[in-house]
Amino acid sequence: SQQGEEDPQALSIQEGENATMNCSYKTSINNLQWYRQNSGRGLVHLILIRSNEREKHSGRLRVTLDTSKKSSSLLITASRAADTASYFCATTGAGSYQLTFGKGTKLSVIP
């Protein structure tokens, strides 16, 4: 079953703009991860944030986590056409192994 929701479901921006995607979840987590998927196939791991962390950066990516609100956001700065993909958040609970995915945000970056 789905852990939570991403919003927006779809996002279209111009190249160079920033893209922000949000994720909400329902139960307590051990960590939260963001994945990218191109063309409905393999998932690429982007970044992991642990439950005791509030913000993390990796290149053009910035992830925040608010455990009190059970929400996370992914910011992609200075977007490129190559960033066009679907983005999923996934959570794992304490002592758990399976990833529970949100429904994803489909990002389109227009050149």
Q: Please state the length of the chain.
A: 111
> Structure tokens of 38?
């191109």
Please state, in angstroms and rounded to a whole number, the distance separating the CA atoms of residues 49 and 56.
7
Per-residue contact track with other proteins, 72 to 111, x per CB under 8 A? ----------------x-x-x--xxxxxxxxxx-------
Residue with tokens 């609100």: 69
Q: Would you say 42 or 111 has its CB closer to other proteins?
A: 42
**Is residue 27 part of the contact set for other proteins (CB under 8 A)?**
no
Q: Which residue in the set 10, 44, 78, 81 belongs to the binding site for other proteins (CB under 8 A)?
A: 44
Cα→Cα distances 72→10, 63, 82, 99, Å: 17, 7, 23, 16
Please state, in angstroms and rounded to a whole number, the distance separating the CA atoms of residues 90 and 48.
9
Q: Would you say 40 or 111 has its CB closer to other proteins?
A: 40
**Is residue 35 part of the contact set for other proteins (CB under 8 A)?**
yes
> Structure tokens of 24?
């909400």
Interface residues toward other proteins, by CB under 8 A: 1-2, 30-31, 33, 35, 40-45, 48, 50, 88, 90, 92, 95-104
